[in-house]
């Protein structure tokens, strides 16, 4: 597989996350507890953390990390209001 194909597939993931809900980004249900949200956040960040990515995917990983952080913050606020 050529690098260009891999990169296009990776950027496709970023595009799909931009249109996803916070629950879809983290992979949790709408009534998830704080613990479930935190665990899903840590699991997701472990796979795409910009400090752990290579030079080719660092920019995309940074953008995905921003989306994951925003989803995490919004879900935690929502979980605390319940």
- Domains of the chain are 22-81 (1.10.287.110)
Q: Residue 73 — very low, low, confident or very high, per pLDDT cuts 50/70/90?
A: very high
Picking from 39, 44, 28, 42, the residue whose alpha carbon sits closest to that of residue 78 is: 28
Whole-number pLDDT of residue 52: 78
What lies within 8 Å, CB to CB, of 80 at 6+ separation is: 34
Whole-number pLDDT of residue 1: 45
pTM of the model: 0.79
């Amino acid at each position: 597989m050529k690098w260009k194909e891999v990169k296009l597939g990776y950027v496709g993931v970023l595009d799909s996350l931009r249109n996803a809900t916070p629950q879809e980004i983290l992979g949790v249900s709408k009534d998830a507890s704080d613990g479930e949200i935190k665990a899903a956040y840590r699991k997701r960040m472990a796979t795409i953390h910009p400090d752990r990515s290579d030079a080719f995917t660092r920019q995309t990983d940074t953008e995905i990390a921003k989306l994951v952080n925003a989803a995490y913050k919004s879900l935690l606020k929502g979980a605390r209001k319940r």
